[in-house]
Structure 1
Amino acid sequence: MTTPPIQWYPGHIAKAEKALKEQLKLVDVVLEVRDVRIPLATQHPQVSQWTGSKTRVLVLNRMDMISPQVQKLWESWFVAQGEVPYFTDAQHGKGTVAVVKAAQAAGVEVNKKRRDRGMLPRPVRAVVIGFPNVGKSALINRLLGRRAVESAARPGVTRQLRWVKISDRIELLDAPGVIPAKLDDREAAIKLAICDDIGEASYDNQLVAAELVDLIGYLQDTSGNLLPRSILESRYGLDATNVTGEDYLLTLANERYQGDAERAARQLLNDFRKGNLGGIPLELPPN
């Protein structure tokens, strides 16, 4: 199969990136939100460079989309890398209290330094950054306890940088999703497209859906104990063993969608994104 022509047009992202770098000078804490189904593919290569010595809180969102067993594996892996991951389901408000506490803890340190210099304490300033559509706005709304930020299933909804006051102790900057200007890693690009975490992009749904079928097959072969059983067969009544993703998609189209492969592809991707296929991680911790 040829490389999917995944292209994005990050005109507004380049602009947002520039504004974000300016705003980062005013920030004490960076909340970096990633998609727990693809925590490596949603790691922006420049985040650590941008944040420098500032406190960074790693938030792995959509914990409802993977099993507790997979969550434990990722937790152990990140801790071994020297990072403390905070798992959240921002849509339903799970895990968000711990994120607030982590941000506040960084604020205590900031204000201690201010007091030492004879300055008055102030609210800790935090920024939420990550790829488009990983759930940043949903997280902010949960932290606020009200809907202050537009949140949508459509990537790239946040365009402006704006400060939102969470409490007397925290002010939060909601930043647009940032994606690298260029993504050379083909596998990461495909995973971003499958999860719809790529923002304003254009890609071939049929190629991406076929890649999803191949990836599920690979994961079931190599780590079947960590995934639901017979994922595609349970949903569509079609066995995916020993067929390519491309062939599976065409068979699905013929059996269910009057030969309409585009419709079959959209349905497959939609079912995955909504969790209708079960908790499926597309990445597992490297050995």
Structure 2
Amino acid sequence: MTDQIKLFQEKLNAELAKMEFGKKPTELYEPLRYTLRQGGKRMRPILAVMAYLTKKQDWESIIAPALSIELFHNFTLIHDDIMDEAPLRRGKETVYKKWDSNIAILSGDALMILAYDLMLEADYDDIKYLIKLFNRCVVEVCEGQQMDMNFETIDTVPEEDYIEMIKLKTSVLLGYSLEMGALLAGMTKEQALKLREFGINIGIGFQLKDDLLDVYGDTAKVGKQIGGDIISNKKTMLLLKALELADEKTKEDLDDLIAATDFDPVKKVDSVKAIYAQLGIKEIAEEKMKYYFDLGFKQLVELKDEDLNLDPLIAFTQALIDRDH
């Protein structure tokens, strides 16, 4: 499985490297090359390929539409970094920091249009339907990003709103990747929808896993500072659940930690983790994560008798679930 994924990544990266952009103005096109050279797991186009392989083997025939998803994903990253004022992406300067915000906005817009060009290369009879699915996904991602920004201005967020936010911001694109691959392989719309729902639920589980790894992961494996979400007061499932379950005194302590502007990061992380331990937050988040993973796999169970080769997709997904970084 690892060798197969590496093969997919190498082929996708090779095709990205061959993509021709305009030459002038350089300020418009160089940020696109810079962004796509930064690497990444290419998980979304790989999911499209994995869905296609459940029914057909000539996966290289769908590289163009699969890469359209990767271009759209990178468009969102360019714009998200502006909104988040993030200085680094994959260890490199973000586009808006290396150039400026206006260039980043315009380059991101161009990347989005190029994504549509690749999508239109899909060999699918009802291309209008495929584009409509993509458009719905794009709008949902924008809705999720707006919800995430809205959360920054309010003290607490209900659990169901947080789940809806990560579903829209992150998971629907995983779902679309699988749905598109399934449709291009010749699945019925009903079958493809089951794969979409699988991807959405698994995606929610992945985000909850990332929330947990940020607090309880191994720095050497995760590759970033543990407790970064705590230090930045990010409204993750863990923090929101702690605020919901804390008694008056514990909530006061938690509120003080959140409000502090002058603090020792290590002590803050340790103090918040102590509150999480007191409230059983890790176990609650793990249970919720498992719920969404199980919910996703139930969609695949419904496809078991459909003469599809689901084993590689299941193995790939399980490998992602089992990761510790």
Query: TM-score under structure 1 normalisation?
Result: 0.31
Query: TM-score under structure 2 normalisation?
Result: 0.28
Higher RCO structure, 1 or 2 (CA under 8 Å, sep 6+): 1
Greater fraction strand: 1
